[in-house]
């Protein structure tokens, strides 16, 4: 079902542009033109975010913070084995995917921990990454409140995920 979605969407758009007499070639090219300036404007933000994640991981700080936060997390029902995933997810999509597959192979893909990890991974986003990319070209720099709100909401839903996997 979902594999038809994109081709059909593209087809509708192209057919519509013929009906509406919008020059499809000109319009498409004009849109595509913005890709390179966009990548250039976003690149410095990506560099900073990736350096942050690299340092966080390489220094062992992420492990230290996970160990430190484990008691708080387990109080909320988040298993100690998943602390690192919860911490890395807001920073890095590829990093958290690596942790997720590590959890799968270590504990078995159908275990409680793995199911929990799947739900946590699938129901949260890379908050800092989104903030960096979406606001790369924006004038607004008032991001603290929205970022905090997103982190709090995601964290509560992580605890909820661990709870719901226990009963379902």
Partner 1 sequence: MNVIFALVCSISMIILLFINPDGVLTAFLTGGEKALSLATKMIIVHAVWMGVFNLLEKTKLSNKFAKLLSPLNNFLFGKVPESAKGFISLNISANALGMSGATTPMGIKAIAELEKHKNTEYAIAMFFVINATSVQIIPTSVLALRASLGSASPSDIVIPTILATFLSTIIGVILVKTFIKKS
Between residue 79 and residue 138, which ones bind partner 1 under the rule CB under 8 A? 94, 97, 100-101, 104-105, 109-110, 115, 118-125, 127-128, 130-131, 133-138
Q: How many CB atoms lie within 10 A of CB 83?
A: 22
CA Rg, the chain, in Å? Answer: 21
Between 76 and 134, name the residue whose CB sits nearer to partner 1: 134
Q: How many CB atoms lie within 10 A of CB 74?
A: 14
118 near 24, Cβ under 8 Å?
A: no
Place of tokens 């986003």: 125
Between 72 and 156, name the residue whose CB sits nearer to partner 1: 156
Out of 7, 8, 36, 75, point to the residue binding partner 1 (CB under 8 A). Answer: 36
**Where does this chain touch partner 1 (CB under 8 A) — which range of 1-9, 66-74, 77-85?**
1-9
Q: How far is the CB of 84 from partner 1 (least distance, A)?
A: 15
- 150 belongs to the binding site for partner 1 (CB under 8 A): yes
Place of tokens 């004009």: 30
Within positions 62 to 81, which residues make up the interface with partner 1, using CB under 8 A? none
How many residues sit in the footprint of partner 1 (CB under 8 A)? 90
| CA-wise closest residue to 80 among 63, 59, 102 | 63
């Amino acid at each position: 079902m979902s594999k038809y979605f994109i081709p059909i969407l593209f087809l509708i758009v192209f057919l519509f542009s013929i009906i509406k007499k919008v020059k499809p070639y000109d319009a498409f090219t004009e849109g595509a033109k913005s890709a390179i300036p966009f990548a250039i404007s976003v690149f410095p933000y990506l560099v900073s975010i990736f350096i942050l994640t690299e340092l966080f991981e390489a220094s062992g700080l992420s492990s230290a913070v996970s160990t430190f936060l484990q008691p708080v997390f387990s109080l909320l029902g988040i298993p100690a084995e998943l602390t690192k995933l919860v911490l890395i997810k807001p920073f890095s999509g590829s990093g958290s995917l690596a942790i997720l597959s590590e959890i799968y192979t270590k504990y078995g893909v159908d275990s409680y921990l793995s199911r929990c990890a799947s739900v946590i991974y699938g129901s949260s986003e890379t908050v800092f990454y989104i903030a960096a990319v979406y606001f790369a070209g924006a004038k607004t720099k008032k991001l603290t409140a929205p970022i905090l709100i997103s982190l709090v909401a995601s964290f509560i839903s992580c605890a909820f995920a661990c709870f719901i996997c226990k009963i379902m």
